[in-house]
Amino acid sequence: FTGSAFGSAAIWQYESLKSRVQNYFEEARADWLDKIRPQKRGDFRKQVNSWWNNLTEGQRTVTGIIAANVFVFCLWRLPGMRRIMFTYFTSDPSSRALCSPMLLSTFSHFSLFHMAANMYVLWSFSSSIVSLLGCEQFIAVYLSAGVISTFVSYVAKMATGRFEPSLGA
């Protein structure tokens, strides 16, 4: 999984760089259109765009990860989703589904305080790490760390004989 994550991140990073170079040349040609094009209306949209554009690349990357974690957290609160959530979003070595929960449980939190604390810590160091690694490699590290820690959890559960499901990485 880790090799695939980093290989995919390298391809993604290459394609992003290629796209940025192409956009740079297209924007240079289209600058004159901005002067004659009418401005879009909507204050809320402008505020959201202004907020988003003022974020660092790391904060934008982590915003997506936080959104995924909040979405999964909300799914835990829906009674109709409990069975699916226990099957795919908890790590349990005695479960029939072993591989997908290794990744999906990374986004799973049951306590609001636990999720908020984890997301705050992730947000606090995101800018420096993403500027060092790039957003693609950071996501590969995040997902790989989740899968590896879940695997270690499986090994620890097998060694101790405790086979109850657990949440998180």
For the stretch 119-151, pLDDT in tens is 999 889 888 888 888 889 999 999 999 999 888
Read off the pTM.
Answer: 0.77
Cβ neighbours for 153, distance < 8 A, ≥ 6 positions apart: 91, 166
What pLDDT digit, counting tens, does each position of 3-45 carry? Answer: 888 888 888 888 888 888 887 777 666 555 565 566 566 678 7
118-141 CB burial, b ≥16 within 10 A, e <16: bbeebeeebbebbeebbbbbbbbb
